[in-house]
Every structure is written in C-alpha cells, then in structure tokens.
Chains A and B, each alone.
Chain A
C-alpha cells in the first residue's frame, strides 16, 4: 500500500503530478503496444479497455404493456386487501371475508356450535392425575369413571359434583372410597359441560351429552352452597328433578362486534 511510484497503468498513473504535467502517456504501456501490433486488434478492443466511462442514463421510454401490468397488479392489491384485510381491525384474526361481511343476524345463525367432546377432552387433562387417562381411577384411592353408575346417571348430579367437589365415603361400582374431590367451579359452564360429555361418552360409557345451559342452571341453583357434597346428599339430589334451563345464549362470534 505504499505510495511509491509504480509503472503506470492506463487508469492508474503513478502520481497526480505526472498526470497534470503530461510527462508520460499512460496509454502507451507494453500491453497496449502489444495489442496495437496484434493482428486481432478489433476483436480484442473490448477486452483491453481497462475502464469505461462512468455510467450514464439511457432514455428508453417505459413500455406501455408494463404500465398496464402494473396497474392490473395494483388493482388486484386493492381487491385483495378489501377481501382479506379484515377491515383493518385489530380484533379480526381470520382473513376469511365471510367473517367481516357477515351480518349480525346471520352471524349468530351461522356460528359453529362448540364441539363439547373436543373441549371436554382438553379439560379432562385436569382429571387424569386421579381418575387416570383410561378413566379407571386407582383402586382403593380414587374411584373409576369408566362404567361408574353416577357417570351415566342424571347429569345435573355430575354438574353439582364438579361445581362443589366431594367429601367423605362414596359407593362406586360396589367399592367404598373415602376421599376428597376438589371443586372445579372455576371452570366455565362450557368446560364443565364438555368434560362431563367427554367422560359420559368415553371408554365403555354411552350416556348422552350435557349442555352448558344445564351446568349454568345448576350453578345458579347451588350458588349459595359452600361445602362439598357428601354421598348421601348426592343420592338425595339424584331424586330431585333437574333445574330448568334457560334458552342457550348465542355463542359470541366476531360478527357480533360488527
């Protein structure tokens, strides 16, 4: 990287001074001489040029077909944003235009019913510690759910157990269990209905599903209860008629906020 003068190249004269005073002709270095004397001078012309002029701009016009294509593309962009842009709203996560443009009334009707089995299967993860994944429980400690009489019995009793828990001796499939089951009232009506539907339809159980409305009604009816259920109280409850359900409220959908 020293600045000592070197044999000059066409584009890199050894120093500014030489350039300014024109004491040397940078074009006449040996390669140039060789090239000029070569019979192929025309063909080589392009290759020996060390450096061309600084780039310049041409003035060819923009092709019309290109502009047409661009306008079409921009048109598509507008259409796509209108269709899939969710109206630029922060609370719409689904690009499906049906979500945005659905009317409120249609929305309620078209809303998909909740899959209670799916909700229940997920919620049942809370239960497997004691009742096990296969619903068999642990003999002598935790009662089974698979084939248990109460599981396929009146659903409002089951809802009551989940809402407030259990305490004391309980007869299940001819065995007596003396333990505690915690209350699960913190779960939503939908989750309780889901988990009940799941255990009633899994393994060898074949009982019908439980609606969230029933759970809701049961929650209202037993709102004042603070202690867990006992085996005898449950048997009494089983003989009572189930609470009256209110009409199921329409599930909340995105369309409601439109």
Chain B
C-alpha cells in the first residue's frame, strides 16, 4: 500500500482513507441539496433583512405593497434564515459529520435527498403564507401549522439516519461532536412539536402561549443550533490543527451541563411579565448556570487552539470556525448576564436584544456553518474552491459587517433602554436617538449580504466545476504565495540595498 504518511501525521492507514472517500461520496447528493438550498435561503433572507432594516429608518420605503410591509418582511426574514438557512445548513453538516465520525456510509440514499426537497417545499410554502398574510404571529413559529407535515417527514428521516449511523458506526468510542449531534437531533423535533401544540392548539390561551413561545425560541438556539455549531467546532478545530481536543473530561462536563441547564433558560425573556415569579426566576438561574458549559467549552477550544493560531492565516475553515467559537463564548456570557433582572429592566424591549440574537445566530452559528461548508463542499464534490481572494472577501465582509451590527445596535439598545426608563424623556426623542444606529445596521447588513453574494458565487463556481483542475486545497496562504511573498521581500531588500 502506498505510504501516505510522508506528508501526513503518522498512523493514517489507507483503509481509513478509503472509508473517508466512500463516506464522502455517500453524502454527496443529500448534503449538496441541503447546502445549496441553504445558500439560496440565505440570499433570500438577506434581501428581506435589508428591506426590514431600511423600513426602520425610511418608514415609507416600499410601503405601498402590503406583502412587503414590515410586519411581513421581518418574520419572513427570520423564518428564511432559521428554517431555510440555519436548519438546512445544520442538517447537511450533521449528516456529513455523522458519516465521517462513525466511518459509515450515509443511509437512505434516496429518501434523504428527497427530504431536502420536501424541506424546501415546506419553507417556500411557509414563506409565501407569511408574505400574503397567513402568519401565525407567534415569533419563531410564524409558519402555518401544516408546514409541520413537511418538516416532520424530513426530521423523522434525519433522526432515523442519525440513529442508524450511530448503530452501524465502526468506531466504538463516540467523539464529543457525536454527542452534541445526537442531542440536537433528538431535542429539536420534540421542541418543535411541543411548541406548536402549546402555542397553536385552540384551548391553550394567554400567558401559557408566551411561556411556551420563549421556551421554544430560546431552545432552538440552545438545543438545536448550539449543539450542531459546537459539534462543528469540536470537529473542525482538532481536524484542521491536527491536535487532539484538550480534555475529554471538559467535553463531558460541557455537554451534560448544556443538556441540563439550557432548557430552563428561555423564560428570562419574560422578566416583568404577568407570569408566576418562579418561572422567570428559574429561567434566570438556568441562564446563569450556562456559565458552566460555556466556560468549559471555551477553555477546551482555547487550549486546543493554543499554539495553533498560525493556522488562521491559512485555513478558511478554521478562520470561520474560530470566529464562531469565540462568538459563542461571547454571546453566551452576555446572554447569561443579560438575563439578570437588573440588566433586563434596561435592555429588554430594545435593540439590544436584536444585537444579542444576531451575535448568536450570525456571529456564532452562521459563521460556523460557513466554516463547515468550506471544509465539506470540496470533499463531497472532489473539487477545490476557485478563489482564495473571494473567500477572504467573504470572511472580512461578514466579520466586519456583523461586528458593526452587534456593537452598534448593542450600544444603541442600552442607551435606548436607559432613555425609556427615564420618564422625563419623550418617547419620540428616544426614537430619534436610535435612527443613526438603525442606519448603521443597514450598512452592516449590506456588508454581510455582499459577503453572502460572494459566497453564493463561490458555491456556484464550485458547482460549475471551476476548481476541478486545481490540485491541493484552496488556502489563504499557499506554499506558492508564501514563496512569492518571501521573494518579493527579498527583492525589496535588495532594491533598498541598491539605493543605499
């Protein structure tokens, strides 16, 4: 057998490489359908986001069409991003990771690609329903109830495929990413169905709906997007740097405390609301307890990265993943503290909450999924990304855009909260204060959308096969570009000598 270990770490056996090739190939159609659809919904969601953002400071903008009014564009943006982009990217990633880590082929080679199409039909149906005015007006659950039929079909298949891959896995030891994925795959359908019943069933009324609504909305992030995002971070950081994860014990502690505490956290959104005090108090304590899994995961990731930060210069995947992992620490610490009553009294019902949710869903999860896609696309298609500079543009527009977004709105929200708590300040003055910051949000959103278009172009060129003839991965800094850089510097030195 060929000795591959010449340029590889020791102990890569060729059987393992063969399995890798086979699992990647088995994932191709399913992951491709989920990923390309996710990118489509990302673009559509970006357009809706910019529309909604512009309407906040140009109220008359496109107001003559009722299907483009703020009350419809905003939920359409949210559902497009969550159920179109985030969930589809998550399902694609988790299926590939499952096959990879279990060293098994993806089961259901026919049904899983079909599920990707069915999911798209469900999202499209839901989006049209929202835009023509049939939203349920329950935040995060705006899709009409029949969409559950489409989603349920797909989720059953995804659960089945995950469990089958778990049972057939060739490696007895389960890796931390696998725990998170099994957790997420089993939690999310339960969350979705119970939240639908508790918010849409005819005999459930009043504050119970609000409690169920926030329990769900928060848990989508914490028990579905977070496990998939963390599974990606736990996989890609050691994978790209080639180092083992710092500590198995910390992984265990982080996973089980997330499973134990996150479910309680959602009700901190109802501070000051007309629900029994203990529901809110328990939500606040659950949020604060999130310090335990988050600190644990942060230490684990940081210690794994320690001494390996040089890889950020070369690897697109790692750059997005590390950005996401750092955002996870930040958004979670911030979320824990923001749950406290004293903080919530100021920041609640302001733009601060919007900044926080984008720090979570965008800076953490979306960036993590970009990182995963940069890794997975070349493997399932056996082609390379066509342009490293375009990947750089994608990274910097989304990174800078999201930072402007979060910092600007986060600060504006705090000041807005302080102003609203002061009865001497007229409400219109508070509104006027926020306008420049709302404009900064439109700028940030445009930057991020430019990044998404660049990413879509990269994906399109990859599907067309632009990188097919290229050998070796597309890295920010390649051997060739490093040498060119060094030669340029050497020439500059010589020129400088000549001048002297």
Q: Which residues of A contact B (CB under 8 A)?
A: 1, 6-7, 9-13, 16, 19-20, 22, 24-27, 29-32, 34-35, 38, 40, 43-63, 66, 69-70, 73-74, 76-77, 80-81, 84-95
Contacts and interface: CB of A to CB of B under 8 A. Distances in A.
Interface in B374-431: 379, 381-382
A86 B479 contact: no
Contacts of A94: 277
Nearest to B285: A77
Chain A interface main SS type: loop
Contacts of B244: 55-58
Contacts of A80: 281, 284-285, 288
Chain B interface main SS type: helix
Contact of A55 (B32, B234, B280, B379): B234
Contact of B247 (A60, A74, A90, A95): A60
B interface residue count range (under 10 / 10 to 19 / 20 to 34 / 35 or more): 35 or more
A93 B242 contact: no
Contact of A45 (B7, B284, B468): B7
22 contacts: A6-B382, A9-B471, A9-B472, A10-B4, A35-B479, A40-B482, A47-B314, A52-B238, A52-B241, A53-B12, A54-B239, A56-B244, A57-B175, A58-B246, A58-B247, A61-B247, A63-B299, A74-B289, A80-B281, A81-B282, A85-B281, A95-B280
B44 interface: no
Contacts, number: 201
Interface string B271-285: 000111110111011
A66 B20 CA distance: 38
A6 B384 CA distance: 13
A163 B276 CA distance: 36
B274 A62 contact: no
B277 A59 contact: no
Given A47-B314, A55-B244, A60-B246, A26 B4 contact: yes
A95 B277 CA distance: 5
A13 B17 CA distance: 9
Contacts of B176: 57
B471 A30 contact: yes
Contacts of B483: 38, 40
Interface in B1-29: 1-4, 6-9, 11-12, 14, 16-18, 20-22, 24, 28-29
Contact of B249 (A45, A60, A88): A60
A46 B152 CA distance: 44
B282 A85 contact: yes
Nearest to A71: B292
Interface in B462-500: 468-469, 471-473, 475, 477-479, 482-483, 486
B238 A55 contact: yes
B249 A73 contact: no
B289 A77 contact: yes
Nearest to B477: A47
B468 A73 contact: no
A6 B247 contact: no
A85 B249 contact: no
A26 B7 CA distance: 11
A43 B483 CA distance: 11
A40 B250 CA distance: 38
B253 interface: yes
A56 B2 CA distance: 24
A46 B473 CA distance: 12
Nearest to A83: B281
Contacts of B278: 81, 85-89, 92
B247 A62 contact: yes
Contact of A20 (B18, B296, B468): B18
